[in-house]
Every structure is written in C-alpha cells, then in structure tokens.
C-alpha cells in the first residue's frame, strides 16, 4: 500500500485509494497532504495556548497565521492541489512556525500540556526523510476503525470549514473563533483518552461551526457584492477573446472583472463560479458574458473548447490535459506541477492577472457548446422576498414538497440517478439546490409552479446556508416546532469534503431523514454509520422509483 485516502466519494471501490488517487493525486502527494495536516497539528499545540483576547490584541499577525492555517487545510481538499513541491514547502514552513510558537509559549511561561511531547510537536524532516515520515503518519495509523472514522469525519468537516473561512477572510471577515475551533477539533484527533461520546460531541460541534462559517461567508459575500437576485444567465458565447474562471472565490472574480474591463477580453464562469452571475456587483461589467459549460468533471472536454486562459480559484481541478494545460492558471490553495500560479499580492493590492489577459488577446474566442439561458439567484434574501407567493402556493397545495438536492456533482456514471430523479419528481414539487450538483438538472425543462421555477438555485455549496435559512423561515411561518415537520425532504449528493461540512451543518440544525448519495462515505465505519442512522435516520439512495415513493 503506497498511500491511503478515502476522503472523497469516488475513492477506489468505496474503500480507499491505496496506489494513486482516482482523482489523479499521486501517492507521494497524498502522503504529504497527511503530513501537512499532522504538522499543522504540531503548530496548533502551541498556538492553541493563545486566548481570544491575545489573538485580538495581536490581530494583524494573528490574521496572517489564520490565513496560513485555513489556506493549508484548503490545499488538502480533493481536486485542489496536486503539487509535490507545494506540500514540501508548506510542511517545512509549518514546522518553522511551530518552532516559533514553541519559543513564544516558553518565553511566556505557558504550559502547553501533555501534547507538547507528542511527535507532532517535535518531528523534523529533511528532503531525504520527508516521504518516509509522510508514509508513516497516515490515516491508518489510527488502528481502531471507529476512532479513525470519527477522527476523519471531523477532519473532513474541518477542511470544509477552513475553505469557507478562507473565502470570508479574503473579504475581510473575522474568523478567529472559527480557527480556534479548527485548532481544538484537530488537536482532539491526537487525544487517545477521548471517549466515543466525546468524539461524537466534537463532530456535532463541528456542525455548529460549519453553520457559523457559512453564515460568515454569506455575510462577507452579500455585504461586498449585494444579495443574489433572480438572474437569467447566458450559456452561449460571444465573438471576443475570453477568460474562464472556475472555483468558489468571489474576490478573484471581482479582481479579474476589474482588470479585464475595457480590454476587449470577455469573462465567463465555469462550475461553481456560475452563481457569481447572480450578484448585483458583477452585473455592471459589460464583458461578463455568462456561464460556459457544466460541473467540474466536464472540464477536460470543455476547457479544450473554451480556447482561452482558464483560472482555477479553488477546487475542483482535474489534472489538465496537454491540449490546454498551458492555458490553465491556478491561484490561492490550488496548484499543479507545470501550471502557472498567480501569487498573492502585496497587502492592499490586487492580484496581477495581466499575463492571463495578454494571453487571452492572442487566442481565439470560445467555441460554442450550448446556447440559451438558465435561471438562478434564489438565495435566502431573494426567496424571502417571494415568501408570500411561496407560502400561498404551499397553503393552496400547488407546492406539495420541496426537495433539497444540494451538494456536489461527480463523474461516476451512477450520478445520472440525480437527473432521472429530478425528471421523475411530481409536478407539484420544487427542487432547492446549491453546489455543483445542480448541473445534473438545472438545464432540464421542468417548468414552474405559478411562476416559481421548479429548480431554485441558491448558489455555491456554501450557499446551502441559504437553504437552511429558508427552511427555518418556513418553520416560523407555519408555526412548527420541528424543522422536520416541514414539507421538505433531503436528497443530497456529495463528492468532496465541503459537502461533509454542509451535511454536519444540517445535522446540527436538527435535520433528519437525509438521503445521502450516490454512496455513503467510505470513511464511515459500520458503527459510526449506525450512530448516524439511529440519531438522524440518514440513509443512502436506492433507485429513482423507490426513492420517489419513499420521499414524496
Ligand atoms: Fe482517492 Fe478521493 Fe483521496 Fe483522491 S481525494 S486519493 S480520489 S479518496
Ligand atoms: Fe463541486 Fe468540486 Fe463539491 Fe462546491 S466544485 S461543490 S465538487
């Protein structure tokens, strides 16, 4: 076994990738990602001695470390970073920061406790020993499968929280308390004395901070760019050179639009950047054309046809094909060997996209692969503005059920289930969606109910927060005590760790009876899965007919 990773839905045989990742991650990189997280825990042993007051007092340097921590965790999310050199540097830098932290704790006379003697707090590596160390500390080094399962469930939930916090921090939001939880949670995975109940409690607390992280990001996005509004998004092309932007980072979207303005270079979104089209602040750019293509896994075909430069601001990157690799640019926590990386700017400055813009001018305009329009922008503010209409439709029986189909898309053939499920839903149902899962049904012509489209797209996976707010509002309007008494059912698709975060958020909010597919996570041991079934009645999907019969 050269590696062990089972953090995403397409893990080999729904058990674990042991040779190379199905995602394209090589075994050495998979091991280095584990070592980076281990090194971060070492840093956190000392950093966790800093109280909130201390962090506030030294806010500027604290923000830098917060940024480092969430960025590094983000780099270990599926399809974000495949770059060996990146991880070697990150591990060495983390160890350096750990040593500085250790010195500071000693100078201040603080007692870092028993974990100060843990290997994570002590280890060092050289270029010659780093791979060996990385291979030693992997997921399987926790022998008990239930403990391993709970630790990994928590770790993946934390990775998603870190990703959302990373975006929020880039928009100037306060994430100190979120990072303090991340530290507490990851350090708990080093503690062999915790009982199963205590570990389960930590997973539930992760759900609380998942809600918090999504709320902070929602505030960051909407305060900066306005509330998403109902928008018809063009999916065709124009005849100008163009840049394609993918991933989840809206700050990059803003800076790219600002720098391409007036240059004759158009901008299109791909994958999870589609919801950028719904924000008022981006509508003012004449060169912002619309969305090109579909969910992340179709990029290997769609990027080739796009013809122009492509910017990956976050996951999901698929190892690029030679046909377009020289047009791909990464930024933030994304990196791939041999692909140009756009660096962080100096403080107070914008990133420099000039190389991409100049390259775009030399390349042909995109080849049209679709045309027409799709509708989105149904985040909480917009849906609540329509609340009367929605409530009347429920009261009159025109809407019988809402089906939350948020989450991720993926390349496995069986995911066609979600398209068939959407098609087979009765006409008095509304699909509430968020995340790239939407591409399985957002171009179907399944009509509307009294002017309310039957697919309401709230935005990116993090905008699942909007769906939770909508549910809570409906609960209030219908004067219900329990969120599970609403006419809402959940058929969630997952792929990577942010979907785990969203799932934990829903559980924290008390949502039960969630169907999770296309397969239950491999990292849930039978006993941990049993806990989720007993407490939350989580189940897998079966087939369209039976699932519709059960849910509707
Ligand atoms: Fe396998 Fe998924 Fe891990 Fe990639 S991220 S190595 S596909 S489990
Ligand atoms: Fe998609 Fe990668 Fe998860 Fe943000 S872009 S939802 S899979």
Q: How many Å lie between the centroid of ligand 2 and the Cα of residue 494? A: 8
Would strands 373-376 and 231-234 be described as parallel, antiparallel, or unpaired?
A: antiparallel
Fold of 12-224: Substrate Binding Domain Of Dnak; Chain:A; Domain 2 (1.20.1270)
Cβ-Cβ contacts under 8 Å for 27 (sequence gap 6 or more): 2, 3, 19, 20
Q: Which atom of ligand 1 is nearest to the CA of 9?
A: 2
Question: Are 17 and 4 spatial neighbours (Cβ–Cβ below 8 Å)?
Answer: yes
Cβ-Cβ contacts under 8 Å for 10 (sequence gap 6 or more): 22, 23, 410, 411, 412, 495
- Among protein residues, the one with the nearest Cα to ligand 1's atom 3 is 5
User: Given this model, what pLDDT does residue 403 score?
Assistant: 98
Q: Is 314 exposed, middle or buried (0-12, 13-18, 19+ CB in 10 A)?
A: buried
Would strands 488-493 and 515-517 be described as parallel, antiparallel, or unpaired?
A: parallel
Q: Which of 315, 460, 467 to mutate to test the pocket of ligand 2 (most atoms within 8 A of CB)?
A: 315
Sign of CA dihedral 234, 240, 246, 248: negative
Sign of CA dihedral 77, 81, 82, 84: negative
- The two tokens of residue 99 are 């040593």
DSSP state of 310: E
Q: Any idea what the Cα angle at residue 252 is, between residues 250 and 253, rounded to 5°?
A: 60
How many whole angstroms separate alpha carbon 489 and alpha carbon 298?
Answer: 28
User: Given this model, what pLDDT does residue 550 score?
Assistant: 96
Q: Which atom of ligand 1 is nearest to the CA of 79?
A: 5
Counting DSSP H helices and E strands in the chain, the numbers are: 20, 15
- Among protein residues, the one with the nearest Cα to ligand 2's atom 5 is 316
User: Given this model, what pLDDT does residue 83 score?
Assistant: 98
Q: Residue 497 CA: which ligand is closest?
A: 2
Q: Which atom of ligand 2 is nearest to the CA of 314?
A: 5
Q: How many Å lie between the centroid of ligand 2 and the Cα of residue 226? A: 23
How many whole angstroms separate alpha carbon 454 and alpha carbon 427?
Answer: 8
Q: Which residues of the chain, if any, have pLDDT below 50?
A: none
Calculate the CA dihedral of residues 438, 422, 494, 72 and round it to 10 degrees. 0
DSSP state of 364: P
Segment holding 359, helix H or strand E: helix 354-361
- Scanning the structure block, which residue is given the tokens 């921090």? 169
- Scanning the structure block, which residue is given the tokens 């006993």? 527
Cβ < 6 A, ligand 1 pocket: 5-8, 10-11, 17, 21-23, 25, 30, 78
Q: Which of 9, 16, 18, 23 to mutate to test the pocket of ligand 1 (most atoms within 8 A of CB)?
A: 23
* CATH architecture for residues 231-361: 3-Layer(aba) Sandwich (3.40)
Q: How many Å lie between the centroid of ligand 1 and the Cα of residue 496? A: 9
Sign of CA dihedral 8, 13, 15, 19: negative
Question: Are 2 and 34 spatial neighbours (Cβ–Cβ below 8 Å)?
Answer: no
User: Given this model, what pLDDT does residue 56 score?
Assistant: 96
Q: How many Å lie between the centroid of ligand 1 and the Cα of residue 74? A: 15
Q: Residue 15 CA: which ligand is closest?
A: 1
Question: Are 310 and 256 spatial neighbours (Cβ–Cβ below 8 Å)?
Answer: no
Q: What angle do helix axes 464-477 and 196-225 make, rounded to 10 degrees?
A: 90
- Among protein residues, the one with the nearest Cα to ligand 2's atom 4 is 461
Q: How many Å lie between the centroid of ligand 2 and the Cα of residue 125? A: 33
How many whole angstroms separate alpha carbon 16 and alpha carbon 10?
Answer: 9
HEC profile of 12-72: HHHCCECCCCCCCCCHHHHHHHHHHHHHHHHHHHHHCCCCHHHHHHCHHHHHHHHHHHHHH
Domain boundaries defined on the chain = 12-224, 231-361
Would strands 373-376 and 401-404 be described as parallel, antiparallel, or unpaired?
A: unpaired
How many whole angstroms separate alpha carbon 537 and alpha carbon 543?
Answer: 18
Cβ < 6 A, ligand 2 pocket: 79, 248, 271-272, 296, 315-316, 408, 435-436, 460-461, 495-496, 498-499
Q: What is the pLDDT of residues 261-298, one digit of tens each?
A: 999 999 999 999 999 999 999 999 999 999 999 999 99
Q: In what order do the strands lie in the sheet containing 328-331?
A: 288-291, 266-269, 242-246, 310-312, 328-331, 340-342
> In the beta sheet, which residues pair with residue 489?
403
- What is the pTM assigned to this prediction? 0.97
Question: Are 422 and 551 spatial neighbours (Cβ–Cβ below 8 Å)?
Answer: no
């Amino acid at each position: 076994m050269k590696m062990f990773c089972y953090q995403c839905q397409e893990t080999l045989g729904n058990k674990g990738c042991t040779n190379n990742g199905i995602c394209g991650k090589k075994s050495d990189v998979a091991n280095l990602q584990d070592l980076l997280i281990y090194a971060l825990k070492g840093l956190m042993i000392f950093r966790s001695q800093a109280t909130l007051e201390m962090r506030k007092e030294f806010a500027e340097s604290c923000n830098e470390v917060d940024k480092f921590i969430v960025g590094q965790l983000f780099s270990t999310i599926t399809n974000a970073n495949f770059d060996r050199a990146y991880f070697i540097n990150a591990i060495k830098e983390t160890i350096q920061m750990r040593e500085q932290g250790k010195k500071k704790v000693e100078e201040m006379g603080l007692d870092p406790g028993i974990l100060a003697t843990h290997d994570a707090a002590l280890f060092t590596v050289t270029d010659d020993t780093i791979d060996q160390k990385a291979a030693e500390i992997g997921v399987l080094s926790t022998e008990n499968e239930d403990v391993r399962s709970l630790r990994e469930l928590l770790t993946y939930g934390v990775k998603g929280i870190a990703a959302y916090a990373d975006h929020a921090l880039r928009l100037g939001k306060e994430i100190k308390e979120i990072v303090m939880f991340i530290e507490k949670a990851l350090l708990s995975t080093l503690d062999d004395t915790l009982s199963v109940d205590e570990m389960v409690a930590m997973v539930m607390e992760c759900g609380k901070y998942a809600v918090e992280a999504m709320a902070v990001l929602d505030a960051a996005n909407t305060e900066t760019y306005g509330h998403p509004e109902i928008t018809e998004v063009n999916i065709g092309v124009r005849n100008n050179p163009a840049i394609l932007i993918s991933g989840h980072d809206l700050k990059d979207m803003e800076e790219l639009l600002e720098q391409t303005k007036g240059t004759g270079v158009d901008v299109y979104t791909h994958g999870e950047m589609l919801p950028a089209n719904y924000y008022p602040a981006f509508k003012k750019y004449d060169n912002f054309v619309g969305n090109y293509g579909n969910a992340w896994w179709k990029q290997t075909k769609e990027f080739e046809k796009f013809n122009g430069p492509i910017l990956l601001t976050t996951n999901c990157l698929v190892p690029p094909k030679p046909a377009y690799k020289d047009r791909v640019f990464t930024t933030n926590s994304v990196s791939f060997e041999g692909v140009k990386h756009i660096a962080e700017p100096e403080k107070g400055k914008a990133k420099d996209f000039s190389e991409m813009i100049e390259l775009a001018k030399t390349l042909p305009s995109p080849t049209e692969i679709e045309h027409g329009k799709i509708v989105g922008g149904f985040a909480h503010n917009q849906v609540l503005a329509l609340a009367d209409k929605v409530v009347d439709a429920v009261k009159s029986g025109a809407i019988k059920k809402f089906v939350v189909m948020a989450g991720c898309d993926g390349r496995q053939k069986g995911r066609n289930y979600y398209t068939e499920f959407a098609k087979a839903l009765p006409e008095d149902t509304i699909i509430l969606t968020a995340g790239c899962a939407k591409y399985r049904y957002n171009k179907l012509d399944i009509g509307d109910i009294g002017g309310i489209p039957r697919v309401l797209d709230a935005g990116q996976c993090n905008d699942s927060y909007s769906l939770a707010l909508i549910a809570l509002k409906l609960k209030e309007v219908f004067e219900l005590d329990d969120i599970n008494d609403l006419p809402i059912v959940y058929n969630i698709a997952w792929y990577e760790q942010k979907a785990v975060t969203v799932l934990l958020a829903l559980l924290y909010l008390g949502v039960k009876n969630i169907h999770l597919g296309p397969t239950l996570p491999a990292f849930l041991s039978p006993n941990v899965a049993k806990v989720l079934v007993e407490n939350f009645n989580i189940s897998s999907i079966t087939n369209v007919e039976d699932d519709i019969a059960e849910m509707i």
